[in-house]
Amino acid sequence: MEYQDVFDLFLEQVKESIQKGKFAKLTMAKTIGKLDLKNIFVRPVASKGAIKVLVKFSYRPRETEDVEKELTLEEAFKVLKEHLRNPFLSVLLFTTTKDVTFKINKKGAGTITENSPTFHNVIQADNDAK
Q: Are the CB atoms for 61 and 35 separated by under 8 Å?
A: no
Pairing of strands 37-45, 99-104: unpaired
What SS3 state is found at 50?
coil
**What residue spans define the domains of the chain?**
3-115
**CB proximity list for 1: less than 8 A, separation 6 or greater:** 109, 110
Nearest partner of 103 among 7, 9, 15, 34, judged by Cα? 7
Amino acid identity for residue 86 in this structure: N
Q: What is the per-residue pLDDT across 57-116, written as a single tens digit (0 to 9) for each?
A: 999 877 889 999 999 999 999 999 999 988 899 999 999 999 999 999 989 999 999 999
Average pLDDT over residues 5-23: 94
Q: Are the CB atoms for 76 and 63 separated by under 8 Å?
A: no
The pTM score is 0.87
Please tell me the predicted confidence (pLDDT) of residue 130: 42
pLDDT > 70 in the chain, percent: 92
Q: How far apart are CA 105 and CA 112, in angstroms?
A: 11
